[in-house]
Amino acid sequence: MKKVLKGIAAALLVAAAFTGCQKKSASAGSEGKIKLELYYYKQENQEGLKNIVKAFEKANPGVTIDMLIIPNDADSAMSARAAQGDLPDILQMQSYSRIKEYASKGFLLDLSKEEAMNRVLPSSLPAVSWNGKQYAVPMDYAGIGIIYNKDIFEKLGIEPPSTYRELEKVCRTLKENDIVPFSALLKENWSVGHFITMVHTALLAEKGIDAEKFVADMNAGKASYGDVDTSKLFSILDFYRANMNSNAAEMGGGEQQQSFAKGESAMMVQGLWAYVDALKLNPNLNAGFIPFPVYNDAKMNTFYSDVDSTFGVSSQSSKEKQEMAVKFVNWLTSAEGQKLWMDEYKLIPPFKGVDVSAFGGPYVDLMASVEAKGSAPWAFSQYPTDVFEDSCKNGAQQYMFQRKAAADVIKGIDDQWAASVNK
């Protein structure tokens, strides 16, 4: 029944999107202007992106950009639109798998020779590449780890933990002082999906397995998601759940940020996008950022960081719209676009010469740690899209709700991965 309802909801969403597009096409023709549609999925700081779009429209008076947000599980809507030859003109996409999927199906323009790509750090190019060409512009370098309240830590004489054993001690101290260690986010599945893949990727290193090779071996049917120490993987999930708010199952992103911003909880496992929203709730928030310490060897604990979102241009748009959409992504990487991206959206662009010192605190912590110790790639971005969206996110959430056993989560990921690469 849930699948039927989900399908109906997706169909209604697609129908609404189609109707909107048809209306926009008609109005575009009558006004004699270029009207683009920009799809985005990052629901945090929507006002920041809107302000960036307004700045581009102001600089290009004949252009308007309508924004379409589908924050969660947008695959069905985008796939349906692609089948109809009606993808949005500008597409915000996750790196790696989504780029490869859309590029291999011919949905994206090749941006390899655009001026924007000359500004991108070479280390970020694999995230937007397929068959040696670049099909999107990487727009933010992000890390997932522990954002912690410095004032609470200092008040209680707590040092930021650099090992798993130290993290356990920190949580005990916080509980003894009636402070929730981790602000929860279990109502939505995406955050715990990040968490299980973050810990899993870290545990690959313990086995001497390269993350990229692991994905390739999974695609070839030569590996299992259970090739890591699964007892450690799920014991860390158990530890995480045991140190959350008592109403964790009812807490979404907004509730998580409120709990952290109010000082009710001392830490949250998130990316800096959540810190931006928490800062809006508490402008005096004094926070730091550290890797989630999976190991008791501090040197092995690195940030889970990589290129997050990207922008590409639909090959299904008209020539006129494609040219203007390309102009938009090139403008995003210009000095003006970069400044707006950082000022308004509070994200780090992976471009040459970017200075994050003005951002302070957590941003500096992230980049300093990555420079000193390196980082673990966002392996989930290289998984088949449906594996991460369904088996990882839902499997981890169901495990945290104690509705699914660890072995069943692993089997679900393995089975769906095999089905995905063989379909």
- In this prediction, residue 24 carries a pLDDT of 40
Closest CA to 202 of 148, 138, 144: 144
Cα 68–Cα 392–Cα 409 angle in degrees, nearest 5: 155
Cβ pair 56, 63 in contact under 8 A: yes
Q: CA 371 to CA 331: how far, in whole Å?
A: 28
Question: How long is the chain?
Answer: 423
Q: CA 118 to CA 171: how far, in whole Å?
A: 45
Closest CA to 175 of 167, 186, 163: 167
Supply 4's token pair. 């039927």
Q: CA 361 to CA 278: how far, in whole Å?
A: 14
Cβ pair 369, 298 in contact under 8 A: no
Alpha-helix residue ranges (DSSP H) falling in 89-247:
97-104, 115-119, 150-155, 164-176, 190-206, 211-219, 230-242
Supply 261's token pair. 């911003």
Cβ pair 412, 339 in contact under 8 A: no
Helix pair 46-59, 319-332: axis angle to 10 deg: 110
Low-confidence residues of the chain, pLDDT below 50? Answer: 1-30
- In this prediction, residue 19 carries a pLDDT of 41
Q: 112: Cβ–Cβ under 8 A, 6 or more apart, which residues? A: 133, 134
- For residue 8, give Cα distances in angstroms to 79, 81, 88, 272: 15, 16, 21, 34
- In this prediction, residue 30 carries a pLDDT of 40
Q: CA 82 to CA 107: how far, in whole Å?
A: 7
Cβ pair 163, 332 in contact under 8 A: no
Cβ pair 278, 257 in contact under 8 A: yes
Rg over alpha carbons for the chain, rounded to the nearest Å, is 21
Supply 236's token pair. 């860390």
- For residue 144, give Cα distances in angstroms to 199, 255, 274: 11, 18, 10
User: Across the strands, what pairs with 145?
Assistant: 270
* Cα dihedral across residues 419, 390, 79, 219: positive or negative: negative
CA 315 and chain centroid, separation = 24
Residue type, 159: E
Q: Which segments of 31-70 are extended strands (E)?
A: 34-40, 63-69
Closest CA to 197 of 238, 222, 167, 225: 225
- In this prediction, residue 46 carries a pLDDT of 86
Owner of token pair 């004949």: 62
Owner of token pair 């699948």: 3
Determine the 3-state secondary structure of 413 from DSSP.
helix
Determine the 3-state secondary structure of 411 from DSSP.
helix
The pTM score is 0.77
Cβ pair 116, 346 in contact under 8 A: no
Closest CA to 393 of 167, 185, 176: 185
